[in-house]
Structure 1
Amino acid sequence: MTEQQRAEEGTGREPEESKPPVVTEDTVEALVRSQLAKALGGKRGMVEAAIPTLTFTISYIVSSELRLSIGLGVAAAVLLGVLRLVQRSSVQYVVTSLFGIGIAAIFAMRSGNAADAFLPGIIYNAVYAVVLSLSVLVRWPAIGLMIGPFIGNKEDFSSWRENPAVVTLASKLTWLLVLPCVIRVLVQYPLWAADTYGWADTFALLGLSKIAMGWPLQVAAFAAMVWVLARGRTPLEQGQGQGSPAAAQD
């Protein structure tokens, strides 16, 4: 025990190092920003995620050859991966992109319908939206699970839920993650159905919508999160080992 700790015990004060950290809306914003950056991979990761899909879409529009278009899309992802390896940088986002186009290829090759390459993404967004929505409805919002380890008692992972202000804020931020998924499904599913059932040739629109509604919508969702945090000005200060109601600051 250090001299400072002995002195603090003598005065009845809690040692400084045992006090829980103060978490504010700024630190929550930093956490959201960090997690989003990891998910998107920065500007380069965003571009790398779009190139294979764009290559596949343009190739099929030009050639109408499904196998060739899928091959070019996969080749684009592999080329990006090789470039990453040469530069000795992380291939995480390229591998994710390659996995995605691989699943898309399986769907398209099984049916012989190029539009089915976009079906896995539509299904993924629908399921993701449902899971996130359920997390809010059962009062375990997904964003709260992300910031939980930084709030309240670290030995009790659920302690952040004792603070109603934290749960409310986390619920609002989680709904903002649900919104892009819902928009993608509402736009892309009708386009997929129209092309699949021969109502209209919407393949090009489907491909472009997937790219346009990818990271741009995620960035927009993040901007909305920042706006909510800045507008609420709700510091998530906590008591010693217990969540205390957040005090609003105008």
Structure 2
Amino acid sequence: MSADERAAAQTVEQLIRRRLSAALGGWRGSLETALPTIAFIALWSWRQDLQLAVWTAVGVAVVLAVVRVVQRSSLQHVFGAVIATGLAAFFAMRSGRAEDAFLPGMLLSGAYLVGTVVSILVRWPAVGFLVGAGDPRVADDPFGWRRDAGMVRVCSRLSWVLVGVYVVRLSIQIPLYLAAQVEALGVAKIVLGWPLWLAGVAVMGWLLVRGNTPQQLDPEVAQSSS
């Protein structure tokens, strides 16, 4: 974190708000993530044909990737959508059950839930890495945020919000999966995706606005970054 940026932000909360705004993606990435799922549910509801629904979703993901390539724009979000759609197709085609298309996402959410809790307990909170991703100097000092004790404490509190997001997501999706409610799973995946993430970010923003944690960067680090 540069000395100029730290001087402009008087508290840890102000600095984190700046970094999160730089790290979060926009509406296009969320749309690219949702479109393959929408295509899958639409075709499944219309024809009850698993292969048609799966390959339509894969086709939508590939088209989105091609559009990105033609426009020479970042493939970050659409690449994730292609991988997720490919895994969903593999699980569904292998078992022959449409609801298994949602199993990889649920397993990933479970892994994120466990990983986020562990990151808090070992004092490497997951939100800290999002903060670091917004640092233009991240290539030189990817873990610089961790040298600030106040930053670690605030990022730990914010990481508990992520834990809540994953708990809400799984508590809704697991019963629907066990009941083989394919259409409801599709709707839940979309609603519990970007909209739920935005709700979590709103809670983080509320915590940041209310907080007033002073920066506690090690003096030696402050001198080296000036």
Deviations 1:152-211 (A, max 9, x none): xx8794783562x3332111111111211111111001100111xxxxxx1110110001
The alpha-carbon distance between structure 1 residues 133 and 84, as it changes in their structure 2 partners (threshold 3 A), is same
The alpha-carbon distance between structure 1 residues 140 and 89, as it changes in their structure 2 partners (threshold 3 A), is closer
Amino acid at match of 2:24: L
Distance in 2 separating the partners of 1:159 and 1:215: 26
Distance in 1 separating the partners of 2:80 and 2:143: 30
Amino acid at match of 1:184: R
Identity rate of aligned residues, in percent?
39
| Residue 176, structure 1, aligned to residue 155, structure 2 | no
Give yes or no for contact 2:23–2:131 (8 Å, CA) kept in 1: no
Distance in 2 separating the partners of 1:43 and 1:20: 27
Q: Which residue of the other structure, out of 76, 80, 104, is the alignment partner of 1:96?
A: 80
Distance in 2 separating the partners of 1:167 and 1:95: 31
Q: CA deviation at 1:28?
A: 1.1
Distance in 1 separating the partners of 2:141 and 2:156: 23
More helix by share: 2
Amino acid at match of 1:175: W
Give yes or no for contact 1:107–1:116 (8 Å, CA) kept in 2: yes
Q: Which residue of the other structure, out of 211, 218, 229, is the alignment partner of 2:197?
A: 218
The alpha-carbon distance between structure 1 residues 67 and 241, as it changes in their structure 2 partners (threshold 3 A), is same
Amino acid at match of 1:217: L
Q: Which residue of the other structure, out of 209, 214, 218, is the alignment partner of 1:230?
A: 209
Distance in 2 separating the partners of 1:159 and 1:171: 12
Which residue of 1 is the match for residue 104 of structure 2?
A: 120
- Where relative contact order (Cα < 8 A, 6+ residues apart) is larger, the structure is 2
Deviations 1:98-131 (A, max 9, x none): 1111000110011100000000000100110100
The alpha-carbon distance between structure 1 residues 146 and 98, as it changes in their structure 2 partners (threshold 3 A), is closer
Q: CA deviation at 1:215?
A: 0.6
| Residue 188, structure 1, aligned to residue 165, structure 2 | no
Structure 2 counterparts to residues 37-116 of structure 1, below 5 A: 37=25, 42-116=26-100
Q: CA deviation at 1:36?
A: 2.2
Q: Which residue of the other structure, out of 17, 21, 27, is the alignment partner of 2:15?
A: 27
Distance in 2 separating the partners of 1:192 and 1:217: 19
Q: CA deviation at 1:146?
A: 4.4
- Computed over aligned residues only, the root mean square deviation of the Cα atoms, in angstroms, reads 2.7
Return the TM-score normalized by structure 2: 0.84
Which residue of 2 is the match for residue 12 of structure 1?
A: none
Give the secondary structure class of the aligned counterpart of 2:64. helix
